[in-house]
Structure 1
Amino acid sequence: MADERRAHPRLRVYYPVRLYPWRSTRMVETLTKDLGIGGCRSLSATVLPVDSEVRVELMLPQGREPIVAKGRTVWFRAIPESEQFDVGIIFSDLSNGDKRRLSACLQDSPASPATV
């Protein structure tokens, strides 16, 4: 489904991530559930409306410098029997250098392909 529309594949990896919704003083500190150079799926205890802008601060493993990017929520849904939500975010301004760093990090990661 969603995987078929993606320009870049995602891997199931659990990296710490901070989401800063635009025009909000709140920060959502959570984990990715899947990640690729085009975007990520993350957990959230906070409602993030579809089509809202977020600043994404992705913590990379092995002490690598974090990646900071602008993103936009493309979908949002409740996780059954949970107070958490899944949120899909596309990156809108990931630099070529950060794309290379993230790609290299994902290649080094013992991850499996993401499923929807």
Structure 2
Amino acid sequence: VVQLRADVDAQRAANEALRKELAAATDATDAARLQATERAAELTKVRAQLTTACDTRAALEERAGRAEARSRADEQAAADRDAAKFSLESARTDNSALSSALDAARDALAAKDEALQGTRATLESLRAEI
């Protein structure tokens, strides 16, 4: 009986450690989700900037009507598009990394949950023996 109680106490300690790891993995998942949401907002902002740059170019061409003004507007729009494309690629890369981190966190949570289920089964078995 003493040995069984010691085994139960050890299982409880292991169970508590697994609960703490599960909580840490949950926090990491929440942080990854927040970062993904922030990146999505940045992506929306970049898309709006790109639209604004195109609208600005069109407005400048309408008002100026001259080749020189069109050339300046084209250069500015091209620079704005390049900057927006760079920001978009950066956001996509970051989103991909965050997605991978989120997948890894989900896998870790699943593994911790399986370990926790195994610990629970062991505890139930020990309780049944006691």
Q: What band does the TM-score fall into relative to the shorter chain?
A: under 0.3
| Larger relative contact order, structure 1 or 2 (CA cutoff 8 Å, min sep 6) | 2
Higher strand share: 1
Higher helix share: 2
TM-score normalised per structure 2: 0.20
TM-score normalised per structure 1: 0.22
Q: Which has the larger radius of gyration?
A: 2
